[in-house]
Structures are given as structure tokens and as C-alpha cells.
């Protein structure tokens, strides 16, 4: 457990992309960037835009992704490590 947050740390297999909530984060960030009236053109603009969108990410999205981990792990066990269909 993390001392400051009471968050249980999970060992993360390197070959489990179906379990990775970061894919949903990248999707969210990509949609936010696409919705901008002036999309970033340079690498610097992209970096700044991503930082802005990251900072503005709703806490509800973060909470939902964290709370989905138990269900994702259970589903992975049910499909015996095969692809999770979502």
C-alpha cells in the first residue's frame, strides 16, 4: 500500500495491453486535441496542449479508470489471458 494514498500497488505484466487504462487516457487526450479550434502544429505546441488537457482531465474519468481495474482483472482471468473484447 502507498503510505500517502492507501492505494494497493499491482504488479503489471508487460504484455497485458488489455488491462492498461492508459489507452483510455490517450483516447481522451486525442479527442480533446481534435476538438480544439486550433490544433497544435509544432512539437512544442503539442506538448503544451497535452499538458493542458492532462491538467483539465476530469477526476471522474480518473476515478472510473482506477475503479475498473478489478473488473478488468476478473475479465482477464475469465478469458484466460486472451483478448478482452472492449
Q: Chunked in runs of 10, what are the mean pLDDT values of the chain (86 residues)?
A: 61 63 90 95 97 97 89 82 66
Q: How many helices (H) and strands (E) does the chain have?
A: 4, 0
The whole-model pTM stands at: 0.67
Which pLDDT score, from 0 to 100, does residue 54 have? 97
CB burial of 70-80 (b: ≥16 within 10 Å; e: otherwise) equals: eebeeebeeee
Q: Which residues in 1-86 belong to E strands, given as ranges? A: none
Cell of 54: 492532462
Which pLDDT score, from 0 to 100, does residue 85 have? 66
Which pLDDT score, from 0 to 100, does residue 17 have? 62
Which pLDDT score, from 0 to 100, does residue 71 have? 85
Amino acid at each position: 500500500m502507498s503510505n500517502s494514498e492507501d492505494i494497493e500497488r499491482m504488479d503489471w505484466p508487460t504484455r497485458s495491453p488489455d488491462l492498461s487504462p492508459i489507452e483510455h487516457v490517450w483516447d481522451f487526450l486525442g479527442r480533446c486535441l481534435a476538438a480544439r479550434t486550433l490544433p497544435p502544429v509544432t512539437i512544442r505546441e503539442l506538448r503544451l496542449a497535452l499538458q493542458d488537457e492532462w491538467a483539465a482531465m476530469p477526476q471522474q474519468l480518473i476515478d472510473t479508470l482506477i475503479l475498473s481495474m478489478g473488473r478488468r482483472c476478473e475479465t482477464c482471468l475469465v478469458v484466460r489471458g486472451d483478448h478482452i473484447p472492449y
